[in-house]
Amino acid sequence: MLESQLPAVIVLLLLGTAAKLVTVRTGGEPGALSRLGPAVLVPGRMQAPALLFCAAVEAVLAAGLLLTTHPAFRWGTAAFFAMSTYVLLELRRRRPDAGCGCFGEVSSAPVGLRSVGRTVALTGMALLSVWAPVPGWAAFTHPTWYAAAGVALLAALSPEVEELINRVRYRAPCEQRPAPAESVTLGRLRASGTWRAHRDELTSADPYDSWRELCWRFFAFRNRSGEDVVFAVYLSGRRPAVRVAVVTPEDSDSLPTYTQVSA
Amino acid sequence: MGYPSVERRRVLAAAALGREPGVPGPDPDDGRPLRAISGEILDISPHLIIIETPDGNQERLVIAPWATAWHGADTAPADLPVGALVTMRALQDGRVVERIWADTTRITGTILSITGRRDLTLELDCGPHRGHRTVLVPYRASGRIQVRHPVFEPGYLFDAIGIRQDGAGLALLPATSQPPYPARAVPAPPPAYAGVQQRVSGTATWSDTFDEDEHGLAYPMLERSDAACPDAETSCTGLPYLSIGSLVQVRNVCTGRSANVPVVACGCVAGRFCDRCVECDTSPRGRVAELSPSSFVELGGDLVKGCFNAQIGLG
């Protein structure tokens, strides 16, 4: 029974590590880190190192809990969550607008009582596990109802669950979402039947121009008669819609021209 | 990748998607069209102005009796100095001038350093394409400017309108009220719950980094790889992605005028501003377009006010 909460604690520590690493790695928008978690309490240039340090501590604790029964890791975990509770309370007092950052950028909602309650619950679970007779991996092999109850309690106290559900339900429209890299879209174009139908007429397999407008990425090629062949690839889905047009150079003669700039 | 044929992009995209390629220029249903004319003053009298346009031609224009001019402050048109660079708003097929802005410049960027006690000297980072710029804030204007910039420190945004004097910029008027957060902490756009909107509202501003007489706009939401602009894709308004060469329909909500304006540059600095325009009503937050002075004037904007409430859509 004492070891029943170890799996939940270990999984949460590992999730926290991964989410923090992803947040620092992608960098988000410049300044995004400055709205996240305990990092806001340190100066700007220290924010990424602070998140990385936090992630490293969590990874070490999770590994220790999983593989050994050494009391240092167990007391360390209890102390880590107790300190987190204090930091969250401090964050709530000093920066009521900042998110807890516990799971990186998903936890960007302001710290509420639920987040604080979760760290209190985790402190309790870590304390319970201090006297567990077996290491974490053994607890994973014998799941109990107590473990399920712990997970349910944590889920109820996690505002991130609702955030993730909302993100899936209300995704930004394709026009506003960052698109896959140009090479990925070009790969999808080359896998399409439209491409195979026009491939032999093109002078080069690489486009001379490529641009994105709304939910379409356009690739412009030249064919052997000197005409432009333009493919439009929809940016959503694995087998997207592909449209093609062949435009003769004269088609644009009547249009007014404007110069391009160096601004 | 460069832009070998950005003017072709509109034609090619329209052909691929089977839509009409729009035509740049003002909406023909707008009533009396405005024309923006810029050049250097060769001679000026109370009723007539002679300028040399950027392509080297001389133009003689009638000054309307109600015309006003701005050269650091409101003045009579006849008091403008010969040799000043002017942008003018003209009526009647561009023959009658009703508003003249002389040597007007706009200084937009992130503050790098502030020196001086009475007259302040600012060094600004105006973005990856526009480089650094040094600007002088005279003592008489510094209070007015600082009250619109609640955190007047390095790392924060600066936007002011002034005049060019002896090759340097002199900031005289604040453009808009700036929110008190650092330039790099741009708020996230509001979530788009109801799908994409046909038209996006916000504020349209102008910049003097375009060529004279050029019609175009700088747009913040361009793909970084397409526009070779590492700071793009930042905006606090939910803007759709467009490309250089796209045609944007800009509508001035204050005057009711609209025009199709091509995207000609990356508006990465404009995207960092999350301010409002209070020209005719309070606009939603965020700059949706940074127009060239000519486009701004032809849409009915006043260069000294610095912005107008705008709606944009695909042209």
Residue B280 has pLDDT above 90, yes or no: no
What share of chain B has pLDDT > 90, as a percent? 19
A182 contacts in B (CB within 8 Å)? 225-226
pLDDT tens-digit map of A4-52: 888 888 988 898 888 888 777 765 544 455 555 666 677 767 777 888 8
CATH of B35-102, one of 1.10.760.10, 1.10.150.120, 3.30.540.10, 2.40.50.320: 2.40.50.320
Token reading at A115 = 């987040």
Determine the average pLDDT of the residues in B211-227: 85
Q: With CA atoms as reference, report the closest residue to A88 among A106, A104, A75, A101.
A: A101
Determine the average pLDDT of the residues in B212-229: 85
User: Under an 8 A CB cutoff, do A213 and B13 touch?
Assistant: yes
B296 contacts in A (CB within 8 Å)? none
User: Under an 8 A CB cutoff, do B215 and A208 touch?
Assistant: no
Asked if residue B248 lies in contact with residue B263, where contact means CB atoms within 8 angstroms, the answer is yes
What is the H or E stretch that residue B63 is in? strand B58-70
Token reading at A182 = 């140009």
Q: What is the ipTM of this complex?
A: 0.83
Equal CATH topology for B35-102 and B105-174: yes
- Tell me the CA distances in angstroms from A27 to A233, B220, B290, one per residue in order: 28, 19, 27
Residue ranges per structural domain of chain B: 35-102, 105-174, 198-314
Q: Amino acid letter at A119? A: T
Which residue would you say has higher pLDDT here, B71 or A249? Answer: B71
CATH architecture of the region B198-314: Beta Barrel (2.40)
pLDDT tens-digit map of A130-150: 888 888 888 888 878 888 888
A260 contacts in B (CB within 8 Å)? 3, 6-7, 244, 264
Residues 185-224 of chain B whose Cβ lies under 8 A from any Cβ of chain A: 185-186, 188-189, 191-193, 195-196, 207, 209-211, 214-216, 218, 221, 223
Q: With CA atoms as reference, report the closest residue to A190 among A178, A208, A205.
A: A205
pTM here?
0.74
- In what order do the strands lie in the sheet containing A216-222? A209-213, A216-222, A228-234, A242-247
Cα–Cα distance for residue pair B229/A261, rounded to 1 Å: 14
Rg of chain A taking only CA atoms, in angstroms: 26
CATH of B105-174, one of 2.40.40.20, 3.30.460.80, 2.40.50.140, 2.70.98.10: 2.40.50.140
In the prediction, which pLDDT does B195 show? 57
**B112 shares contact with chain A (CB less than 8 Å):** no
